[in-house]
A and B are shown apart, each in its own frame.
Chain A
Amino acid sequence: MTKAFFDHIATTPLDPRVFEAMRPYFLEWYGNPSSHIHSQGQAALRAVDRARAEVAALIGAKAGEIVFTSGATESNNLAVLGAAEGAGTGKRHVVVSDVEHFSVMNALIPLRNAGYEVTVLPVDGNGVVDPDAVRKALRADTALLSVMHANAEIGTIEPVGPIGRIAKEAGVTFHVDATASAGHIPMDVREIPADLVTLSAHNFYGPKGAGALYLREGTKVAPRTFGGFQEMGYRAGTENVPAVVGMGAAATLAGREMGAWAEHLTRLGKTLWDGLAAIPMLHYTGHPSERLPGHVSFWVEHVEGESLLLFLDMKGVMAASGSACSSNLRGHDEEDLVASPVLRAIGVPSDICTGSITFSLGKGNTADEVRQALDALPDIVERLRAMSPTYLDYQKRHVKGG
């Protein structure tokens, strides 16, 4: 049985070309970029500088505007907390969308504790932030606006261009979490007036443990880590050189190939969308057209998400759920079992929030793998519904009604 991986929004497999680029920086060139009086350190410094230029090129930035971090979580934390502090006294207001990642949302906790006021922008049924709502939310004392480029769970792409122009007019620092979108759809900071952009290498076929924060020249951000003067003082600590090199290589590949990837993913995604129509009472989530290529998300009435995913895995098909059940399996207690905040934000009833499924396709997926998923799904849905008391009640109502 072939194993079909459809969870690329959680992570992507490392591209073998990226691995080859990283390889020499484990055993051969192990130097510390900050200790470059000798050739080992110089090689490491050159590699990090090259990677910086490569990552910058992916989003139309200058190399000096890229700060390497350990990943998207650290970048988002640095953006939110750093920009709030960097805005200076008197600016004690932060605006975020209702569908931001936990690494943005939970970074607001210490801000609230410190007396900051937070405005959370609602989204519509497709998960889209209304630029007019942004305009109304921004104030003279707003330190930061944070709106993601694309949502991992429902695939929706946010209008960050219009939103960024509003932020610019208002003189508010604008952060865009591009973790889910970078390397998949174009993002150019010369067109989108973002001041801070979060990037994560392992979401575009690079290694885990490498991320970046773009800081537009002149943006005031206070550091969150304290130590040496690495990363222009924004992020102390010796760089993870092999991972940084991998991020650079992955950025170059993505910049060159993302058009072809998107075409392939859109085609496969359409096959999946079309095939799913055969399942009765299945509802798509997210925006129908303004969405990540190859991202297919939905929920099925009378079917609980985790059960569906467990059965799919048995059939060699790996997908994911926004469901509290599966996403928090490693949580510490039942307090962690909350319905997906994103699905709640788009108005999906809470009894359905546990049933959301996300298929995020990758460049390595094939039409056969999509077929494998489509072949497996109807039986699984049937089987779980046959077990469900809610479906039994539905059938009885249906018979009675008809």
Chain B
Amino acid sequence: MAAGPYSEKVMDHFMNPRNVGEIDGADGVGEVGNPACGDMMRLYLKIEEGLVRDAKFRTFGCGAAIASSSMLTEMIKGKTVEEARAITNQQVAEALDGLPAVKIHCSVMAEQAVKSALDDYVKKHAG
């Protein structure tokens, strides 16, 4: 598939996305994007003792959006909350062996989703 617009890694994560689904009673839920812009991602986090124990997602979007979502969940599982928050869209794109220029926003969506889910976590656990 490398002859198409996407790397083999993108196609692998698109065809076999990891961690699709929901987490009941998630500690943090983040939602970013908008179907009107062509993609939307919802991320669920299970956080224990400052660690991301589990991550699941649902995404409406193109191949790059689904692959970025899948890769992100792989990258943050087992990380501390601080490490997860520090993940950048470039790191997601690099882990996918690159994205076409017009698809960089898909990796940005993944980065924003984790920040949004962690904000939700902080809000839920404040006080």
Chain A residues with Cβ under 8 A from B5's Cβ? 329-330
Q: Which of A305-358 contact B (CB under 8 A)?
A: 305-307, 310-311, 313-314, 323-326, 328-334, 336-337, 339, 349-351, 354
Contact pattern, A 126-153, Cβ under 8 Å of B = 1, otherwise 0: 0000000000000000000000000000
Stretch at the interface among A173-181, A288-296, A386-394: A386-394
Chain A residues with Cβ under 8 A from B4's Cβ? 313
Secondary structure class of chain B's binding surface, majority of residues: mixed
A387 and B66: CB pair below 8 A? yes
| Cα-based distance from A271 to B79 in the complex (angstroms) | 52
A390 and B60: CB pair below 8 A? yes
Chain B residues with Cβ under 8 A from A323's Cβ? 38, 62
Contact pattern, B 53-94, Cβ under 8 Å of A = 1, otherwise 0: 000001111110110000000000000000000000000000
| Cα-based distance from A326 to B6 in the complex (angstroms) | 11
| Cα-based distance from A391 to B14 in the complex (angstroms) | 18
Secondary structure class of chain A's binding surface, majority of residues: helix
B20 and A390: CB pair below 8 A? no
A307: contacting residue among B22, B31, B42, B62, CB under 8 A: B62
A392 and B22: CB pair below 8 A? yes
A331 and B17: CB pair below 8 A? no
Cβ of A302 within 8 Å of any chain B Cβ, yes or no, is yes
A324 and B101: CB pair below 8 A? no
Cβ of A304 within 8 Å of any chain B Cβ, yes or no, is yes
B63: contacting residue among A307, A324, A334, A390, CB under 8 A: A307
**In the complex where A307-B62, A389-B58 touch, is A314 in contact with B15 (Cβ < 8 A)?**
yes
A389 and B42: CB pair below 8 A? yes
Chain A residues with Cβ under 8 A from B65's Cβ? 304
Cβ of B110 within 8 Å of any chain A Cβ, yes or no, is no
Q: Which residue of B lies closest to A335 (CB)?
A: B102
Contact pattern, A 14-56, Cβ under 8 Å of B = 1, otherwise 0: 0000000000000000000000000000000000000000000
| Cα-based distance from A305 to B103 in the complex (angstroms) | 15
- The winner among A331, A386, A388 for most chain B CB atoms within 10 A is A388
CB distance from B1 to the nearest CB of A (A): 9
**In the complex where A306-B63, A324-B38 touch, is A329 in contact with B100 (Cβ < 8 A)?**
yes
Cβ of B105 within 8 Å of any chain A Cβ, yes or no, is yes
| Cα-based distance from A311 to B41 in the complex (angstroms) | 20
B35 and A390: CB pair below 8 A? yes
B105 and A387: CB pair below 8 A? no
| Cα-based distance from A389 to B31 in the complex (angstroms) | 9
Chain A residues with Cβ under 8 A from B62's Cβ? 304-307, 323, 325-326, 354
| Cα-based distance from A305 to B62 in the complex (angstroms) | 7
A390: contacting residue among B40, B102, B103, B104, CB under 8 A: B40
A333 and B102: CB pair below 8 A? yes
Q: Which residue of B lies closest to A329 (CB)?
A: B5
Q: Which residue of B lies closest to A328 (CB)?
A: B102
CB distance from B8 to the nearest CB of A (A): 13
A337 and B20: CB pair below 8 A? no
A337: contacting residue among B34, B35, B38, B58, CB under 8 A: B38
| Cα-based distance from A220 to B24 in the complex (angstroms) | 71
| Cα-based distance from A113 to B103 in the complex (angstroms) | 32
A302 and B63: CB pair below 8 A? no
**In the complex where A314-B15, A331-B101, A333-B102 touch, is A389 in contact with B34 (Cβ < 8 A)?**
no
Cβ of B2 within 8 Å of any chain A Cβ, yes or no, is no
Contact pattern, B 22-39, Cβ under 8 Å of A = 1, otherwise 0: 100000000100111011
27 A-B contacts, Cβ less than 8 Å apart?
A304-B62, A304-B65, A306-B63, A307-B14, A307-B61, A311-B15, A323-B62, A324-B38, A325-B62, A331-B101, A333-B101, A334-B105, A336-B102, A337-B38, A337-B105, A339-B38, A350-B36, A351-B36, A354-B35, A354-B62, A387-B60, A388-B59, A389-B41, A389-B42, A389-B59, A390-B35, A392-B42
Please report A residues at the B interface, Cβ cutoff 8 Å. Answer: 302, 304-307, 310-311, 313-314, 323-326, 328-334, 336-337, 339, 349-351, 354, 386-392
| Top 7 A-B residue pairs of the complex, sorted by shortest distance between their CB atoms | A351-B35, A354-B38, A306-B62, A389-B42, A389-B58, A388-B60, A325-B62
